[in-house]
Amino acid sequence: MILPLLFACAAPTPVPPGSPVPTQTAASVALPPPAGPVVLAGRSGPVVVTPVFHGTVRIEGGGTVFWVDPWSKADLSGPAADVVLITDVHFDHLDPAALAKVVKPETVLVAPKAVAAEAKERKVEHVLANGETVTVAGATITAVPMYNLVRGPEAGKLYHDKGRGNGYVLNLDGVVIYIAGDTECTDEMRALTGIDLALIPMNLPYTMTPEEAAGCVSAFAPKQVAPYHYAGSDLSKFTPTGTMVVLRDAYPGGLPW
Protein backbone atom coordinates (compact mmCIF):
# COMPACT_ATOMS: atom_id res chain seq x y z
CA MET A 1 0.00 0.00 0.00
CA ILE A 2 1.27 3.47 -0.82
CA LEU A 3 2.07 5.53 2.27
CA PRO A 4 0.47 8.99 2.42
CA LEU A 5 2.62 12.08 2.06
CA LEU A 6 2.53 14.47 5.00
CA PHE A 7 2.20 18.23 4.59
CA ALA A 8 3.01 20.20 7.74
CA CYS A 9 1.06 23.33 6.84
CA ALA A 10 -1.95 21.93 5.02
CA ALA A 11 -5.17 20.82 6.68
CA PRO A 12 -6.64 17.60 5.25
CA THR A 13 -9.52 18.00 2.80
CA PRO A 14 -12.66 16.09 3.81
CA VAL A 15 -13.30 13.11 1.52
CA PRO A 16 -16.93 12.28 0.61
CA PRO A 17 -18.07 8.74 1.44
CA GLY A 18 -17.39 6.34 -1.40
CA SER A 19 -14.41 8.26 -2.73
CA PRO A 20 -10.97 6.69 -3.04
CA VAL A 21 -8.64 7.68 -0.23
CA PRO A 22 -6.32 10.54 -1.25
CA THR A 23 -3.33 8.21 -1.66
CA GLN A 24 -5.20 5.88 -4.04
CA THR A 25 -4.49 6.21 -7.74
CA ALA A 26 -5.77 4.31 -10.73
CA ALA A 27 -3.57 1.33 -11.45
CA SER A 28 -2.03 0.90 -14.86
CA VAL A 29 -3.51 -1.90 -16.91
CA ALA A 30 0.02 -3.29 -17.33
CA LEU A 31 0.61 -6.69 -15.74
CA PRO A 32 1.28 -7.93 -13.14
CA PRO A 33 -1.28 -6.19 -10.95
CA PRO A 34 -0.08 -4.87 -7.59
CA ALA A 35 -0.99 -6.64 -4.38
CA GLY A 36 -3.03 -4.99 -1.64
CA PRO A 37 -6.53 -3.73 -0.97
CA VAL A 38 -8.66 -1.05 -2.55
CA VAL A 39 -9.39 1.58 0.11
CA LEU A 40 -12.36 3.94 0.03
CA ALA A 41 -13.55 6.62 2.41
CA GLY A 42 -16.56 5.61 4.49
CA ARG A 43 -18.57 7.84 6.78
CA SER A 44 -16.71 6.70 9.88
CA GLY A 45 -13.39 5.67 8.36
CA PRO A 46 -11.78 3.58 5.64
CA VAL A 47 -13.65 0.81 3.86
CA VAL A 48 -11.02 -1.73 2.85
CA VAL A 49 -11.75 -4.16 0.00
CA THR A 50 -9.19 -6.96 -0.33
CA PRO A 51 -9.30 -9.34 -3.29
CA VAL A 52 -7.91 -12.41 -1.52
CA PHE A 53 -7.93 -15.07 -4.25
CA HIS A 54 -10.09 -15.69 -7.33
CA GLY A 55 -13.67 -14.91 -6.17
CA THR A 56 -12.76 -14.68 -2.47
CA VAL A 57 -12.92 -11.10 -1.17
CA ARG A 58 -12.71 -9.58 2.31
CA ILE A 59 -14.40 -6.24 3.00
CA GLU A 60 -13.90 -4.30 6.23
CA GLY A 61 -15.57 -1.08 7.26
CA GLY A 62 -17.81 0.50 9.87
CA GLY A 63 -16.56 -2.02 12.42
CA THR A 64 -17.83 -4.98 10.35
CA VAL A 65 -15.94 -7.72 8.50
CA PHE A 66 -17.47 -9.31 5.40
CA TRP A 67 -16.10 -12.34 3.59
CA VAL A 68 -17.35 -13.15 0.08
CA ASP A 69 -17.14 -16.71 -1.26
CA PRO A 70 -14.34 -18.03 0.99
CA TRP A 71 -12.43 -20.80 -0.83
CA SER A 72 -9.87 -23.22 0.59
CA LYS A 73 -7.25 -22.19 -1.99
CA ALA A 74 -7.31 -18.64 -0.59
CA ASP A 75 -5.39 -17.30 2.40
CA LEU A 76 -8.17 -17.22 4.98
CA SER A 77 -6.03 -16.00 7.85
CA GLY A 78 -7.63 -12.54 8.08
CA PRO A 79 -10.13 -11.45 10.73
CA ALA A 80 -13.18 -13.66 11.23
CA ALA A 81 -16.38 -12.74 9.46
CA ASP A 82 -19.30 -10.91 10.96
CA VAL A 83 -21.15 -11.57 7.70
CA VAL A 84 -20.47 -14.00 4.86
CA LEU A 85 -21.92 -13.46 1.38
CA ILE A 86 -22.07 -16.52 -0.88
CA THR A 87 -22.95 -16.09 -4.53
CA ASP A 88 -23.43 -19.58 -5.96
CA VAL A 89 -23.23 -23.35 -5.45
CA HIS A 90 -20.04 -23.98 -7.46
CA PHE A 91 -17.09 -25.35 -5.46
CA ASP A 92 -15.03 -22.15 -5.72
CA HIS A 93 -17.86 -20.14 -4.15
CA LEU A 94 -19.54 -22.54 -1.74
CA ASP A 95 -16.75 -24.37 0.11
CA PRO A 96 -17.86 -25.74 3.52
CA ALA A 97 -14.28 -26.32 4.72
CA ALA A 98 -13.29 -22.73 3.90
CA LEU A 99 -16.49 -21.36 5.40
CA ALA A 100 -15.69 -23.09 8.67
CA LYS A 101 -12.35 -21.26 8.80
CA VAL A 102 -13.75 -17.72 8.55
CA VAL A 103 -16.90 -17.90 10.67
CA LYS A 104 -17.47 -17.51 14.38
CA PRO A 105 -20.59 -18.56 16.31
CA GLU A 106 -22.35 -15.25 15.69
CA THR A 107 -21.47 -14.92 12.00
CA VAL A 108 -24.46 -14.26 9.73
CA LEU A 109 -24.67 -15.93 6.32
CA VAL A 110 -26.42 -14.37 3.31
CA ALA A 111 -26.94 -16.54 0.25
CA PRO A 112 -29.42 -17.62 -2.43
CA LYS A 113 -31.84 -20.50 -1.92
CA ALA A 114 -29.71 -22.95 -3.92
CA VAL A 115 -26.78 -22.34 -1.58
CA ALA A 116 -28.92 -22.68 1.53
CA ALA A 117 -30.06 -26.09 0.28
CA GLU A 118 -26.44 -27.25 -0.18
CA ALA A 119 -24.85 -25.69 2.92
CA LYS A 120 -25.99 -28.37 5.33
CA GLU A 121 -23.17 -27.80 7.82
CA ARG A 122 -24.10 -24.18 8.41
CA LYS A 123 -27.44 -22.39 8.56
CA VAL A 124 -28.03 -19.51 6.15
CA GLU A 125 -29.73 -16.81 8.21
CA HIS A 126 -30.80 -14.67 5.24
CA VAL A 127 -31.88 -16.46 2.07
CA LEU A 128 -32.24 -13.83 -0.65
CA ALA A 129 -33.85 -14.15 -4.05
CA ASN A 130 -32.75 -11.85 -6.85
CA GLY A 131 -33.94 -8.31 -6.08
CA GLU A 132 -34.44 -8.82 -2.35
CA THR A 133 -32.73 -6.65 0.29
CA VAL A 134 -31.71 -7.24 3.88
CA THR A 135 -29.94 -5.09 6.49
CA VAL A 136 -27.27 -6.87 8.52
CA ALA A 137 -24.85 -5.28 11.00
CA GLY A 138 -25.89 -1.83 9.78
CA ALA A 139 -25.11 -2.63 6.14
CA THR A 140 -27.68 -2.95 3.38
CA ILE A 141 -27.34 -5.95 1.05
CA THR A 142 -29.31 -6.31 -2.17
CA ALA A 143 -29.21 -9.48 -4.26
CA VAL A 144 -28.59 -8.81 -7.96
CA PRO A 145 -29.15 -11.43 -10.68
CA MET A 146 -25.97 -13.13 -11.94
CA TYR A 147 -26.23 -15.48 -14.87
CA ASN A 148 -24.97 -16.48 -18.29
CA LEU A 149 -26.63 -15.25 -21.44
CA VAL A 150 -25.07 -17.63 -23.97
CA ARG A 151 -22.18 -19.57 -22.42
CA GLY A 152 -22.61 -23.07 -21.10
CA PRO A 153 -21.13 -26.57 -21.08
CA GLU A 154 -23.21 -27.66 -24.08
CA ALA A 155 -25.97 -26.46 -26.36
CA GLY A 156 -29.12 -25.57 -24.43
CA LYS A 157 -27.37 -25.39 -21.04
CA LEU A 158 -25.80 -22.45 -19.22
CA TYR A 159 -23.07 -22.42 -16.58
CA HIS A 160 -25.18 -20.12 -14.41
CA ASP A 161 -28.95 -20.05 -14.76
CA LYS A 162 -30.85 -16.87 -13.98
CA GLY A 163 -32.28 -16.91 -10.47
CA ARG A 164 -29.93 -19.51 -9.01
CA GLY A 165 -27.10 -17.26 -7.84
CA ASN A 166 -26.74 -13.76 -6.45
CA GLY A 167 -24.42 -10.91 -7.09
CA TYR A 168 -24.66 -8.31 -4.33
CA VAL A 169 -24.82 -4.56 -3.91
CA LEU A 170 -23.41 -3.83 -0.46
CA ASN A 171 -23.89 -0.40 1.13
CA LEU A 172 -21.35 -0.35 3.96
CA ASP A 173 -20.67 2.83 5.94
CA GLY A 174 -21.90 4.92 3.02
CA VAL A 175 -19.77 3.11 0.42
CA VAL A 176 -21.66 1.18 -2.29
CA ILE A 177 -19.84 -1.91 -3.55
CA TYR A 178 -21.09 -4.19 -6.34
CA ILE A 179 -19.89 -7.79 -6.20
CA ALA A 180 -20.92 -9.24 -9.54
CA GLY A 181 -20.37 -12.96 -8.98
CA ASP A 182 -20.10 -15.26 -12.01
CA THR A 183 -22.04 -13.49 -14.71
CA GLU A 184 -22.07 -12.19 -18.24
CA CYS A 185 -23.16 -8.64 -19.11
CA THR A 186 -26.78 -8.71 -18.02
CA ASP A 187 -29.43 -6.02 -18.32
CA GLU A 188 -29.53 -5.84 -14.52
CA MET A 189 -25.82 -5.04 -14.36
CA ARG A 190 -26.06 -2.41 -17.07
CA ALA A 191 -28.91 -0.71 -15.16
CA LEU A 192 -27.01 -0.26 -11.89
CA THR A 193 -26.48 3.27 -10.58
CA GLY A 194 -24.52 4.90 -7.76
CA ILE A 195 -21.79 2.27 -7.46
CA ASP A 196 -18.55 3.38 -5.82
CA LEU A 197 -16.60 0.20 -6.53
CA ALA A 198 -17.52 -2.69 -8.82
CA LEU A 199 -15.83 -6.11 -8.64
CA ILE A 200 -16.25 -7.63 -12.10
CA PRO A 201 -15.38 -11.15 -13.36
CA MET A 202 -13.84 -11.76 -16.77
CA ASN A 203 -12.73 -15.28 -17.47
CA LEU A 204 -13.80 -17.80 -20.07
CA PRO A 205 -15.70 -19.94 -20.50
CA TYR A 206 -17.67 -19.17 -17.35
CA THR A 207 -18.25 -15.41 -17.42
CA MET A 208 -17.15 -12.93 -20.12
CA THR A 209 -14.13 -11.55 -21.91
CA PRO A 210 -12.32 -8.41 -20.71
CA GLU A 211 -13.69 -6.58 -23.76
CA GLU A 212 -17.27 -7.58 -22.90
CA ALA A 213 -16.74 -6.64 -19.28
CA ALA A 214 -15.39 -3.23 -20.32
CA GLY A 215 -18.47 -2.53 -22.40
CA CYS A 216 -20.75 -3.50 -19.54
CA VAL A 217 -18.88 -1.39 -16.99
CA SER A 218 -18.98 1.58 -19.36
CA ALA A 219 -22.78 1.28 -19.37
CA PHE A 220 -23.23 1.73 -15.61
CA ALA A 221 -20.05 3.76 -14.92
CA PRO A 222 -19.07 2.99 -11.32
CA LYS A 223 -16.57 5.39 -9.76
CA GLN A 224 -14.01 2.58 -9.64
CA VAL A 225 -13.82 -0.95 -10.99
CA ALA A 226 -11.54 -3.81 -9.97
CA PRO A 227 -11.34 -7.04 -11.98
CA TYR A 228 -11.57 -10.19 -9.88
CA HIS A 229 -12.20 -13.84 -10.78
CA TYR A 230 -10.20 -13.16 -13.95
CA ALA A 231 -8.10 -16.37 -13.96
CA GLY A 232 -5.33 -15.33 -16.32
CA SER A 233 -7.34 -13.10 -18.66
CA ASP A 234 -5.48 -10.32 -20.46
CA LEU A 235 -6.40 -7.35 -18.30
CA SER A 236 -4.77 -4.95 -20.76
CA LYS A 237 -7.91 -5.46 -22.87
CA PHE A 238 -10.14 -4.25 -20.05
CA THR A 239 -10.50 -0.57 -20.91
CA PRO A 240 -13.91 0.77 -19.82
CA THR A 241 -14.77 4.43 -20.21
CA GLY A 242 -16.06 6.76 -17.51
CA THR A 243 -14.57 4.87 -14.56
CA MET A 244 -11.26 4.42 -12.76
CA VAL A 245 -9.67 0.99 -13.24
CA VAL A 246 -7.95 -0.28 -10.11
CA LEU A 247 -6.04 -3.51 -10.61
CA ARG A 248 -5.24 -5.82 -7.73
CA ASP A 249 -3.61 -9.23 -7.76
CA ALA A 250 -6.39 -11.79 -7.31
CA TYR A 251 -4.00 -14.74 -7.76
CA PRO A 252 -1.09 -14.47 -5.33
CA GLY A 253 1.00 -17.58 -5.81
CA GLY A 254 -0.44 -18.36 -9.24
CA LEU A 255 -3.64 -19.65 -10.82
CA PRO A 256 -5.72 -22.29 -9.01
CA TRP A 257 -5.64 -24.75 -11.94
Residue 16 pLDDT exceeds 80: no
Average pLDDT, integer, range 76-100: 96
Q: Is residue 22 part of a domain?
A: no
Looking at the structure of the chain, the number of domains it has is 1
Residue in 167, 229, 175 with CA at minimum distance from that of residue 15: 175
Q: How confident is the model at residue 72 (pLDDT cuts 50, 70, 90)?
A: very high
DSSP 8-state symbol, 213: H
pLDDT value at residue 20: 59
pTM (2 d.p.): 0.88
Q: Is residue 10 part of a domain?
A: no
Q: Which residue intervals of 50-135 are DSSP H helices?
A: 96-102, 113-118
Average pLDDT, integer, range 15-38: 59
Q: Is residue 13 part of a domain?
A: no
Distance in angstroms (rounded) separating the CA atoms of residues 68 and 51:
10
Q: How confident is the model at residue 189 (pLDDT cuts 50, 70, 90)?
A: very high
**pLDDT tens digits for range 218-229:** 999 999 999 999
DSSP run (H or E) holding 187 = helix 187-190
Residue 18 pLDDT exceeds 90: no
pLDDT value at residue 194: 98
Q: Is residue 87 part of a domain?
A: yes
Range of the domain at 238: 38-245
**pLDDT tens digits for range 119-134:** 888 899 999 999 999 9
- ∠ CA 173-87-41, nearest 5°, is 20
Instruction: Provide the mean pLDDT of the chain.
Output: 89
Q: Is residue 70 part of a domain?
A: yes
pLDDT value at residue 32: 67
Q: Which residue intervals of 33-137 are DSSP H helices?
A: 96-102, 113-118
Average pLDDT, integer, range 142-156: 93
Q: 3-state class of 132 per DSSP?
A: coil
Q: Is residue 48 part of a domain?
A: yes
Are 122 and 194 spatial neighbours (Cβ–Cβ below 8 Å)? no
CATH of the domain at 129: 3.60.15.10
Residue 197 pLDDT exceeds 80: yes
Q: Is residue 105 part of a domain?
A: yes
Are 229 and 92 spatial neighbours (Cβ–Cβ below 8 Å)? no
Distance in angstroms (rounded) separating the CA atoms of residues 165 and 143:
9
Q: Is residue 92 part of a domain?
A: yes
